[in-house]
């Protein structure tokens, strides 16, 4: 057992039985001579084996030379975790690690039967694992006494502070025995963690592993720039391209989790959802489905996914971008764990490119930018999988080969091969058609020449001057619906009851399909295609005023429409001409002008007559 010389013999045999050949960097660091008997402040990335690490580190305070433990009574070691799932996973890890020592390990977590936990505490335990709120509850009720505690471990300390458990942690640590060792394990060590360590640790040894300094070296990052309308299609194509046995998709809201999981389920993916509205039983069943392979995709929010550990997770998809660099690293760290390779895909709306660039720079992560896998890409990938299928590359017994020869003589090689292809293709869901984003990462912003729109396609939107339509909100609406930049929008002319605008030919067909099938996203706004240049609306010249240029024909000037709201001196007059009824009761006038409302109302009434 030479590879585990520094490990207590009782735990070394457990590691060997578990299949360990070598320890990770963090596991090695916490059992070196320099760390013995000292408090530890450890920063290491998610999935680096931190649970086994502090399990090994606490052994010198719990076990005697023969690897025995005293009679179970008040807990000798306490592990505090941010979530129920993580606490129960820590309990499972420590159970097999200390199995040969006869350790009794109990848990106290929210959402579980508190009466059963109380009975376990009365019977006694050696190691207690719990969440901050429930542990404090037991201490205040008098069912938990930490005066004999030898080791206290704060696992994922940064997440516990993020979740607002600082007060609970301080209360728990203040009631524990003073002569104890305290371990703080955290993915990062921001200032609040450093302050907590300074208050509750004595001469702590700072351990920063190579994995922590080299963020997720085993993860291959990919970023796909998309139109906002293509988010779900992009997620489906990324899933299909990778065909990972286990995938986690992160969303920003519960509603998005429900929507996306329902969409994927309808498309034939084996999917489960995790969000804060689920009960503990539902969460447990969802996670178990992922672990035993009945589900291959888990759609979750950041909060719901905190602390859970899904082994062998191959792919992480950011359907919604994370809020900060720490969230990006925490999400992505679900894959590429303990030396395994993983993949991470970021779905980036074209108008969020600057946001993700800033996050990637802060997180010190390099990504491969590329388009979303197309239908052709996915078909080629499927063919490659079929041609390298295990059934074709492995040997078979004599009985199977005899049956194969009989089948070959009956149907022929081509018919059998076609049947095999059909059987394999039936497992794959159909990919989606995702529109290309014209702009690329290295594209320089160059002014568009005027001849770009010689064959422009015209559209109509049912909002004009009387609806207070202005290019300042019309232009972003058009770009958002179509998923392109403003370079693809030509002339905009605002008329009395509608607005007409011009699009580049290469985006017009796609724009028409989107508006017909999905609308504009606004209940009252509709966009329809006109086609060729509407000569009867644009006057003899056949051309309206370009965006941002002065319109010599007058009232459809983009600049004039944009200034209307800001000209307070003419606000009452300009709006009153278009909507006299609203003006008759004085609505919309600036404050402090009450004395003029009656006159204005009368004037508009006379104008209408």
Pull the structure tokens for residue 551.
């319109």
Residues 55, 104: one domain? Answer: yes
Pull the structure tokens for residue 147.
């005066």
- 57 neighbors 183 (Cβ within 8 angstroms): yes
In a domain, 394, yes or no: no
At 247-274, the pLDDT tens digits run: 999 998 888 999 999 999 998 899 999 8
Query: Could you give the CA distance from residue 596 to residue 262 in angstroms, rounded to a whole number?
Result: 57
Residues 62, 187: one domain? Answer: yes
Higher pLDDT, 483 or 605: 483
In a domain, 506, yes or no: yes
pLDDT confidence band for 517 (50 / 70 / 90) = confident
State residue 239's pLDDT score: 94
Query: Could you give the CA distance from residue 29 to residue 41 in angstroms, rounded to a whole number?
Result: 11
State residue 170's pLDDT score: 92
Query: Could you give the CA distance from residue 478 to residue 469 in angstroms, rounded to a whole number?
Result: 13
Among residues 321, 355, 377, which one ends one of the domains? 377
In a domain, 425, yes or no: no
Query: Could you give the CA distance from residue 138 to residue 96 in angstroms, rounded to a whole number?
Result: 26
Q: Three-state SS string across 366-392, please? A: CCEECCCCCHHHHHHHHHHHHHCCHHH
Q: Identify the bridge partners of residue 206 per DSSP, sorted by sequence position.
A: 41
Among residues 358, 377, 396, which one ends one of the domains? 377
At 566-589, the pLDDT tens digits run: 343 334 333 333 343 333 344 444
At 208-250, the pLDDT tens digits run: 865 544 455 678 899 999 987 889 999 999 999 999 999 999 9
Q: What is the mean pLDDT of residues 89-97?
A: 92
State residue 608's pLDDT score: 32
Q: What is the CATH number of the domain that holds 191?
A: 3.40.50.300
- 233 neighbors 437 (Cβ within 8 angstroms): no
Residues 238, 355: one domain? Answer: yes
In a domain, 439, yes or no: no
Higher pLDDT, 212 or 128: 128
Percent over 70 (pLDDT), the chain: 81
In a domain, 158, yes or no: yes
At 401-437, the pLDDT tens digits run: 888 888 888 888 888 888 888 888 777 888 888 876 6
DSSP strand pairing (527-531 vs 457-461): antiparallel
Count of alpha carbons within 13 Å of 554, Cβ hemisphere only?
A: 5
Q: Is the pLDDT of residue 315 over 60?
A: yes
DSSP strand pairing (499-503 vs 489-494): antiparallel
Q: Is the pLDDT of residue 79 over 60?
A: yes
Residues 239, 208: one domain? Answer: no
Q: Is the pLDDT of residue 547 over 80?
A: no
Residues 469, 512: one domain? Answer: yes
Query: Could you give the CA distance from residue 292 to residue 560 in angstroms, rounded to a whole number?
Result: 64
In a domain, 390, yes or no: no
At 360-379, the pLDDT tens digits run: 888 888 899 999 999 999 98
Residues 281, 337: one domain? Answer: yes
**Range in 36-50, 503-517, 540-554 with the lowest mean pLDDT:** 540-554
State residue 148's pLDDT score: 92
Q: What is the mean pLDDT of residues 523-544?
A: 67
End-to-end CA distance of the chain: 102
Residues 514, 593: one domain? Answer: no
Instruction: Quickly list H helices, 32-128.
Output: 50-57, 59-62, 84-97, 114-123
Residues 245, 189: one domain? Answer: no
- 257 neighbors 301 (Cβ within 8 angstroms): yes
Percent over 90 (pLDDT), the chain: 27
Q: What is the mean pLDDT of residues 380-395?
A: 85
State residue 563's pLDDT score: 41
pLDDT confidence band for 76 (50 / 70 / 90) = very high
State residue 6's pLDDT score: 79
Q: Is the pLDDT of residue 565 over 50?
A: no
In a domain, 386, yes or no: no
Pull the structure tokens for residue 311.
């082994």
Q: What is the mean pLDDT of residues 474-485?
A: 84
Q: What is the mean pLDDT of residues 75-83?
A: 93
Determine the structural domain holding residue 352 and report its residue range. Answer: 219-377
In a domain, 602, yes or no: yes
Mean pLDDT of the chain: 79
Query: Could you give the CA distance from residue 148 to residue 177 in angstroms, rounded to a whole number?
Result: 6
Q: What is the CATH number of the domain that holds 556?
A: 3.30.70.330
How many domains is the chain partitioned into structurally? 4
Query: Could you give the CA distance from residue 452 to residue 369 in angstroms, rounded to a whole number?
Result: 28
Residues 236, 361: one domain? Answer: yes
Pull the structure tokens for residue 161.
């502070």
Pull the structure tokens for residue 472.
């300042």
Q: Is the pLDDT of residue 345 over 60?
A: yes
State residue 568's pLDDT score: 39
DSSP strand pairing (368-369 vs 219-226): parallel
State residue 358's pLDDT score: 87
Residues 171, 252: one domain? Answer: no
Residues 559, 573: one domain? Answer: no
Query: Could you give the CA distance from residue 271 to residue 264 in angstroms, rounded to a whole number?
Result: 7
Q: Is the pLDDT of residue 186 over 80?
A: yes
Residues 45, 151: one domain? Answer: yes
- 436 neighbors 488 (Cβ within 8 angstroms): no
Higher pLDDT, 139 or 496: 139
């Amino acid at each position: 057992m030479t590879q585990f010389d520094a490990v207590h013999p009782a735990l070394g045999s457990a590691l060997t039985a578990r299949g360990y050949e070598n320890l990770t960097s963090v596991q090695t660091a916490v059992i070196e001579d320099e760390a013995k008997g000292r408090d530890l402040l450890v920063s290491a990335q998610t999935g680096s084996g931190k649970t086994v690490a502090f399990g090994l580190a606490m052994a010198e305070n719990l076990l005697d030379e023969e690897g025995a433990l005293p009679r179970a009574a008040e807990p000798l070691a306490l592990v505090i975790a941010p979530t129920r799932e993580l606490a129960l996973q820590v309990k499972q890890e420590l159970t097999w690690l200390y199995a040969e020592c006869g350790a009794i390990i109990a848990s106290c977590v929210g959402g579980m039967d508190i009466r059963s936990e109380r009975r376990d505490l009365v019977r006694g335990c050696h190691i207690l694992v719990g969440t901050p709120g429930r542990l404090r509850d037991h201490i205040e009720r008098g069912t938990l006494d930490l005066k004999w505690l030898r080791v206290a471990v704060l696992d994922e300390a940064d997440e516990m502070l993020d979740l607002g458990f600082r007060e609970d942690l301080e209360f728990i640590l203040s009631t524990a025995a003073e002569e104890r060792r305290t371990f703080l394990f955290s993915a990062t060590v921001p200032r609040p963690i450093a302050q907590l360590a300074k208050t509750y640790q004595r001469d702590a040894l700072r351990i920063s592993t190579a994995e922590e300094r080299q963020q997720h070296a085993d993860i291959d990052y990919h970023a796909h720039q998309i139109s906002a309308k293509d988010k779900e299609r992009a997620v489906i194509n990324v899933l299909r391209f990778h065909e990972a046995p286990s995938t986690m998709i992160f969303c920003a809201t519960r509603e998005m989790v429900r929507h996306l999981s329902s969409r994927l389920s309808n498309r034939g993916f084996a999917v489960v959802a995790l969000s804060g509205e689920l009960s503990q039983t539902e969460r447990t069943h969802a996670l178990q489905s992922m672990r035993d392979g009945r589900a291959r995709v888990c759609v979750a929010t950041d909060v719901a996914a905190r602390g859970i550990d899904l082994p062998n997770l191959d792919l992480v998809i950011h359907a919604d971008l994370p809020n900060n660099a720490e969230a990006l690293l925490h999400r992505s760290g679900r894959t590429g764990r303990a030396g395994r390779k993983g993949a991470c895909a970021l779905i980036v709306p074209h108008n969020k490119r600057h946001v993700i660039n800033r996050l990637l720079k802060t997180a010190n992560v390099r990504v491969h930018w590329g388009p979303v896998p197309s239908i052709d890409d996915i078909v080629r990938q499927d063919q490659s999988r079929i041609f390298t299928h295990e059934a074709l590359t492995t040997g078979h017994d004599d009985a199977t080969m005899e049956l194969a020869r009989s089948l070959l003589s009956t149907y022929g090689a081509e018919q059998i091969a076609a049947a095999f292809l059909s059987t394999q293709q039936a497992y794959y869901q159909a990919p989606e058609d995702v529109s290309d984003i014209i702009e690329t990462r290295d594209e320089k912003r160059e002014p568009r020449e005027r001849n770009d729109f010689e064959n422009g396609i015209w559209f109509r939107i049912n909002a004009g001057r009387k609806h207070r339509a202005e290019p300042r909100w019309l232009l972003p609406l058009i770009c958002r619906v179509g998923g392109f930049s403003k370079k693809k929008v030509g002339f905009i002319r605002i008329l009395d009851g509608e607005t007409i605008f011009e699009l580049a030919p290469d985006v017009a067909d796609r724009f028409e399909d989107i508006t017909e099938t999905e609308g504009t996203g606004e209940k009252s706004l509709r966009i329809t295609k006109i086609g060729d240049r509407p000569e009867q609306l644009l006057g003899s010249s056949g051309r309206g005023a370009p965006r941002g240029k002065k319109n010599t024909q007058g009232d459809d000037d983009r600049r004039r429409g944009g200034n209307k709201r800001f000209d307070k001196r003419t606000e009452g007059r300009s709006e009153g001409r278009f909507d006299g009824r609203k003006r008759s009761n004085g609505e919309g006038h600036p404050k402090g002008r009450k004395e003029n409302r009656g006159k204005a109302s009368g004037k508009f009434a006379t104008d209408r007559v």
